[in-house]
Structure 1
Amino acid sequence: MKRLTLTVTLFLSVISIPKLFAQENNNTNTSTPTSTASTTRAQNIFIELGGQGLTFTANYDSRFFNKRDGLGGRAGIGYFSVDGDKVTTVPLSLNYLLGKDGKYFELGLGASYISTSGHAEVLFNKNESNVIGTMSFFYRVQPEDSGFAFRIGLSPVFSRDFFLPYYGGLSLGYTF
């Protein structure tokens, strides 16, 4: 129960961080055009196979400041079921994008809550819940304005009992 409470708290923290850094723009000069890409923070919705969610997940990712790169966070939820074996995951992480012109390298660190039932054994015993650490080293294509987004890379996973350095992931989504 403590792990679920920690996971929910981390999720709510990731969602609320952008509001902490939000600033109101009181500039009333409307004669100077501004680029949408330079004044709005990048937000993404995507599905991911593997990666920090370990299975198949739906995710939301956003930058914390009004720019397309820099510090951001993501939250997601995944579910996988085969022959009565069920795995639910909730990945949460902070990440940093390095790059420009819609092509970025993503570095991230987070945690994923995993719950299994049935005979499924995913990194630990069946019918158990656990929180594991995750990292992300991804190449990300994210348009400057909006459109199709793509991510591919490595997502090492770890706990006090194991370390899997070559776990990978693939994401397809939309940037707005």
Structure 2
Amino acid sequence: MRKRVIERQARPSPAEAEGWLDLERIARAELTSEDPQHPFENTLAPPGRDGWRAEVPGPQTIRLLFDEPQRIQRIHLVFEEHELNRTQEFVVRWSTSGGHTYREIVRQQYNFSPPTTEREEEELQTELNGLTALEIEIIPDIDRGDARASLKELRLA
């Protein structure tokens, strides 16, 4: 019998197969707050998870620092609110300097009015070359209510 040992090729995850980056593998996250019951990793998991939620009310920042510069063409964000009427603002910024300076991609406000409007889904088309850091600032209630920031899904391609 002739045989040889071959190297096993890793199969891409379903997200990678669809073109989404494996953020857990290529980036480090920095967060201003995190509810232990709703960790940031939930935003990267398949749909059906609760996503990330801040432990304390007020504005929050999520920062992704990449191991190597990236080329990003799509940013997919999903926000959900099932309890409070509120106006949320979010800002997405990017950096090619490891987070020393940032350029704004989008700043947007959205009104949640459960149960009729509970979900905001954003698919941002962009052309970011040499991205080393991505920052998402969430102001959960621009009227300074007692809301906590949350993010259901985050995907980059």
TM-score normalised by structure 2 residue count: 0.27
Q: Which has the higher contact order (CA 8 A, sep 6+)?
A: 2
Higher strand share: 1
Higher helix share: 1
